[in-house]
Amino acid sequence: MQIGMIGLGKMGGNMAERLRRGGHEVVGYDHHPELSDVSSLKELVERLEAPRAVWVMVPAGEATQHTIDELGRLLSEGDIVVDGGNSHYVDDQRHAAELADKGISFVDCGVSGGVWGLQNGYALMCGGDKASVDRVMPIFETLKPEGEDGFVHAGDVGAGHFAKMVHNGIEYGMMQAFAEGWELLEASDVVKDVKGSFGSWRTGTVIRSWLLDLLVRALEDDEHLERLRGYAQDSGEGRWTVQAAVDHAVPLPVITAALYARFASRQDDSPAMKVVAALRNQFGGHATASAEGSTGKGADSPGADVTPPREGR
């Protein structure tokens, strides 16, 4: 099958290569000329035979919107667009409606597999009408892992990215659990081999997983993670998952806490913890640390001048 691939970064480039290895003809475009087969979206569309199929693999938000808008001007009735980026599912519904007015079909596809997808295949979660999904099924069959699993037609337009959003929210919670367990083991005076403990869980335990394999791999490279700073970015899908939970009145305490933990990782000096420290000093006389790094006196320290509050207030 012939397909245009827009966005040839770490994911898109490997996906294009997997498709080529699978016998498909891929015409690729990227804003980096050295990665592209064509010099513009216009040339990409001209190189494809009608009815055309185009896969968009660019960052969610403005970049995707710009690409969809331009494709809407360049493509013709009967063509199809697949958005394989991490778009918000509500954007999918708008994009589908905009393209439908011009007779262009739209499928949203959540993609998971990261840099390992070229070798192992990509998990695909699609949304759209059956006819549109079936039309690009040869592409999905090549991209997915071998076997029965790894692909789902999740529902109507937006369902693919909604499923991928929830997948990423679950990933947040799992990663946070591994992170907290690692920190506790590292803090222990009893456990001497933290890396080995994680490695021992890879076989026969209920928490064995690819994430556990990747953590062990990271610990083998840097046993105490001393070369890393405790800072974690979020892609946006964790936020969308929590917002969707609010919209549907579904409690997500683990995923929400994992998202907030990532926010906390970006604070070298937490404003909220300043308040906690001040209150602990006020009611319990606990020592405080100054912004310069020195330690202040608590209420029960020699020379401390703390007046207790009056009763009844």
- The one catalytic residue in 42, 102, 164, 192 is 164
Peptide bond into 51 cis (omega under 30): yes
Please confirm, yes or no, whether 144 is among the known catalytic residues.
no
For 268, residues 6+ apart whose C-beta sits below 8 A from its C-beta are none
So which residues are the catalytic ones? Answer: 164
